[in-house]
Chains A and B, each alone.
Chain A
Amino acid sequence: DSGVTQTPKHLITATGQRVTLRCSPRSGDLSVYWYQQSLDQGLQFLIQYYNGEERAKGNILERFSAQQFPDLHSELNLSSLELGDSALYFCASSVEAGSNQPQHFGDGTRLSIL
């Protein structure tokens, strides 16, 4: 158990819909990261938050947005969903960026677009 909690584990929805993925980081971790894993793109970094502030952006579509709340949990919002958004979405957390501590991953949310 990594200590990172992601909900829901599975999500099935239709094109054009909007979903919210939730992540609770490990106790004491201030940085939260979101990654997307798909068959064609592999594991790709989406976005990083540190103590409530956005720190880094990767290959995140404009239809996607995220935030980190004062209690440090984070949400990833995906809107106007397309078939290609079907993927496994991971949240990870770490104590702080740039340290020698690893990013610990949650079990992921598997999103299926029908």
Chain B
Amino acid sequence: AQKITQTQPGMFVQEKEAVTLDCTYDTSDPSYGLFWYKQPSSGEMIFLIYQGSYDQQNATEGRYSLNFQKARKSANLVISASQLGDSAMYFCAMREYDQGGSEKLVFGKGTKLTVNP
């Protein structure tokens, strides 16, 4: 079963507008973490924002914010004031770990964002 679902293969937004990238997740663990990464066409993976399952407030990092709705198991990324440089693939990921110290990230299939001038 897919644990991270990104339903938007591609999204388009006009420069300076806001855009929301969807992410839903599936876990039965009470403690988990959710991440968003950006992958430009050059290939590197850039960490954007993190939300812990026990965090009371939605995470924000500059123009990035995370709309975390725990009951709905969604963690949507909101990018405000889009810039041309925001054009990239965006991946939502969930951290799975246990008390033994093992950890891995489970990634969604990604959303390709294109910012139009």
Contact = CB atoms under 8 A, between A and B. Distances in A.
Interface residues on chain B, size class? 20 to 34
SS class, residues of chain B in contact with chain A: strand
Contacts of A48: 102-104
A97 B97 CA distance: 7
B64 interface: no
Contacts of B43: 88, 107-108, 110
B45 interface: yes
A110 B43 CA distance: 9
B35 A102 contact: yes
A97 B103 contact: yes
Contacts of A88: 43
Interface in B48-100: 50, 52, 91, 93, 95, 97, 100
A64 B91 CA distance: 25
Interface of A: 2, 31, 33, 35, 42-45, 48, 50, 55-56, 58, 88, 90, 92, 94, 96-98, 100, 102-108, 110
Interface of B: 33, 35, 37, 43-47, 50, 52, 91, 93, 95, 97, 100-107, 109-110
